[in-house]
Amino acid sequence: MTRRLRFALLSAALELGSAQGLPPAPATEVALDRVPAERVVRPGATAPGTPPDLNASITVRYGPARPRAVLLLMPGFLGGAGSFDRLARQLAALDPGLAVWAVDRRANLLEPQAQLAAADPAELARIVQRGLPVRTPASLGFLQGWGLDLTLRDWRAAVLEARALTPDVFLGGHSLGGVLAGLYAAYDFGGTPGWQDLRGLVLLDGVPGQAAFQPLTRQQYEEGYFNRALPVRAPGLNALARQPYVDSFFFGPTLASRAAAQARLAASDPGAPAPAGGLTRYPATALAAGLTQLEGRYSLLPFLAVRTGQATNARTLPNPLPRLLGAARAGEFILGARDPARPVGWQADPAAPTDPLDFVRRYWTPLADYAEWYFPQRLTLDVNAANLGTRGSPFEQELRVWHGAEVPLPILGLAAEGGLTRPEDYTRYAATTLGALTTHTLPGAAHLDITAARGDTVARWILEWLGRLARP
């Protein structure tokens, strides 16, 4: 069967189901678990001052080793390749000829993942309580150079490897990863525009030029600026020696290691008591402790929200802060257990997009973590400076986003209904390029649901779109 015929048959089946009003049948969990996957670390771009073993391009590869098409996906702000585990497996299970390569940025190599992998339940409980030792800012001064240029050149190493396998290479990403995908297409790699090696862009609740990112002046770039999306004072270039990576009230290496350990405990025994003095100030089950920070009902920040269910036996108060920070609705603050004799528990909502047990099970795997523990401040600084393009800007030479108006690639823009991106954001971006735009919105979804949802609607939208672009 030819590539075009296979894609055409899949597209026809999807269109028939839509015409009959039938919901897409999800790939079975057994089929997802059987998808082959491996972590591949290859040489990346060379950065001055960086230890040689950290000059790496990293991908977690799902599906066949000799694919007909490859989709490379970049995670979002603070995210790791593990954030794509479910979506990547759905795509590869639905089309065994498609390989999905999820990116880990090079900062993921700084994480002591072997300690998490080897930890027994008692050690995991200790990590939940105290975290793993953190590398000091002084020891990671080379992160000051880990910005947009380096990130895109690492990604390019993977793109070129994929191109050696097939001409059908697609680029995409979630949240900040979607922004980076658009910037990659417009980037100048020594006289070659990034888009020339690609067939299309898949943007998942993230797009260049959206409101969460703001163009910077040279002074802001050097001295810092107020990041309205977080909201915090973001360091400028002059402060990166002291603050090379994100370490704030909402995220940092210590919290990242604690969250990964709690996810492992929740995946193995969701109803067991969470470690005292861990992620919650009140007694909770392992599953409740693993989800209360991210569940949309309780999450403070819209970009760290998933919808799975709600806490049980919980005393709550209304929390207006999420709404003030851009969430679609106000939230709730958990004060503690309603019945002190029992812990706060967790109730899955069958109507919610994401299954809570599946989410914690995929949060940490031997292949990848959901998070990037040492996220370099330089990357978000550069992304804000680049905006949609740098021609004529103070950043033209150091950030070579030169070809945005030339990008002829088709664009698939998928929004979460309760996420960060709207169809009109994609429309505005597409108007700055030469590419045709297709958009869909996932109903009832928060920002993180777009890659974690139990149903495979997102995967089928992607495959239907890929089917229209298959080469003869």
Burial class (CB in 10 A: 0-12, 13-18, 19+), 207: buried
Q: How far apart are CA 341 and CA 373, in angstroms?
A: 36
Amino acid at 360: V
Q: Is 328 exposed, middle or buried (0-12, 13-18, 19+ CB in 10 A)?
A: middle
Q: Specify whether the backbone of 421 is left (phi greater than 0), alpha (psi in -120 to 50) or beta.
A: beta
**pLDDT for residue 305:** 95
> pTM of the predicted model, to two decimals?
0.93
Q: For residue 130, is it within any domain? A: no
Checking DSSP bridges between strand 69-74 and strand 98-104, what pairing results, if any?
A: parallel
Supply the range of the domain harboring residue 390. 3-112+146-237+379-469
152 and 400 Cβ atoms separated by less than 8 Å: no
Examine residue 26 and state whether it is found in any structural domain, yes or no.
Answer: yes
The predicted structure's pLDDT at residue 211: 59
Q: What is the pLDDT of residue 438?
A: 98
Q: What is the pLDDT of residue 43?
A: 98
* Residue 232 confidence (pLDDT): 77
Residue 321's pLDDT is 75
- Specify the pairing of strand 169-174 against strand 200-204: parallel
Cα→Cα distances 37→152, 226, 230, 270, Å: 23, 40, 34, 26
- Note the pLDDT of residue 309: 97
Q: Show the CA angle centred on residue 104, arms to residues 100 and 105, nearest 5°.
A: 135
Classify 45 as helix, strand or coil: coil
Q: Is residue 100 part of a domain?
A: yes
Nearest residue to 198 (alpha-carbon basis) of 210, 209, 187: 187
**pLDDT at residue 11 in the model:** 40
Q: How many domains, in total, are found in the chain? A: 1
- From CA 63, how far away is CA 65, in angstroms rounded? 7
Backbone angles phi, psi at 43, to 5 degrees: -60, 135
Measured between alpha carbons, how far is 432 from 69 in angstroms, rounded to an integer? 27
Per-residue confidence (pLDDT) for residue 7, from 0 to 100: 38
In a domain, 23, yes or no: yes
Kindly give, in sequence order, each residue whose CB lies less than 8 Å from that of residue 324, ignoring residues fewer than 6 positions away.
none
Q: Given this model, what pLDDT does residue 415 score?
A: 98
Asked whether residue 411 is assigned to any structural domain, the reply reads: yes
CA distance 130 to 254: 8
pLDDT at 3: 39
Provide the CB-side half-sphere exposure for 1 (13 A, CA): 11
Task: Say if 272 falls within a structural domain.
Answer: no
- For residue 451, the domain's CATH number is 3.40.50.1820
* Among 57, 65, 70, CA closest to 101: 70
Percent helix / strand / coil, the chain, rounded to 5 = 40, 20, 40
* Inside any domain, residue 159: yes
3-state secondary structure 299-350: CCCHHHCECCEEEECEEEEEECHHHHCCCCCCEEEEEEECCCCCCEEEEECC
**396 DSSP β-pair partners:** none
In a domain, 457, yes or no: yes
Tell me the mean pLDDT per 10 residues along the chain, length 472.
40 37 62 97 97 98 97 98 98 97 98 97 98 97 98 98 98 98 98 97 94 81 85 90 94 97 98 97 97 93 94 93 71 94 98 98 97 97 94 95 97 96 96 97 97 97 92 60
